[in-house]
Amino acid sequence: MNETGKGLAKDLVILALLIVIVVIPLRVFVVSPFVVDGESMHPTFENLDYLIVDELVYDFEKPSRGDVIVFRYPKDPSVFYIKRVIGLPGETVAINRGIVTITETSGKTVTLNEPYVVNEDATYTNKVTLSPGQYFVLGDNRPNSSDSRIWGPLPAKNIIGRVDARLLPLSVAGLFPGEAPKAYETLAASSTPAGP
């Protein structure tokens, strides 16, 4: 074997080792690809968007309101869903004809400003108090979303991770593509305490 052949063989062995040592563990334990199926997150995500999900982030922090997450559907764990976190453990989520109001564990009540919601479901009215370890999740395209309004709170154990990147289509590729505008922070400042 000549010098060029030896160099190529060495490069292939190094590449194979890198794949085994770095790429496979990253794929198995840290990030995973996810392809959007359906219109429940329109206009934030469209059918066939190719996303990267960070599976490690919630080992270090809890999901936040506004995070877009991928999780196992509670009624069939072999099915994966993508939705936005709206209500956190211990909070009460009230929806009145499309208007979402949260009573936080501190007793403070906020009405959410959700600029990412284009199609609202103005027919739905309900109130749910979440237990510890439960989240209330909604699709951004409310009339076309199977979410916590239909099948109830999401157990924390079903959460796979947070959507941290969109790779395709290239025209809208980027980091944190589902990040909610500062809507939640502004409302928190102007919210009023709940009554007795």
Would you please indicate which residues are annotated as catalytic (active-site) residues?
A: 40, 83
Cβ atoms 136, 86 nearer than 8 A: yes
Dihedral, CA of residue 14, residue 19, residue 25 and residue 31, to nearest 10: 130
* 3-state SS, one letter per residue, for 83-144: EEEEECCCCEEEEECCEEEEECCCCEEEECCCCCCCCCCCCCEEEEECCCCEEEEECCCHHH
Kindly state the tokens that stand for 134: 């439960």
Q: In the 8-state DSSP scheme, what is residue 69?
A: E
* Pairwise CA distance, residues 70 & 82, whole Å: 4
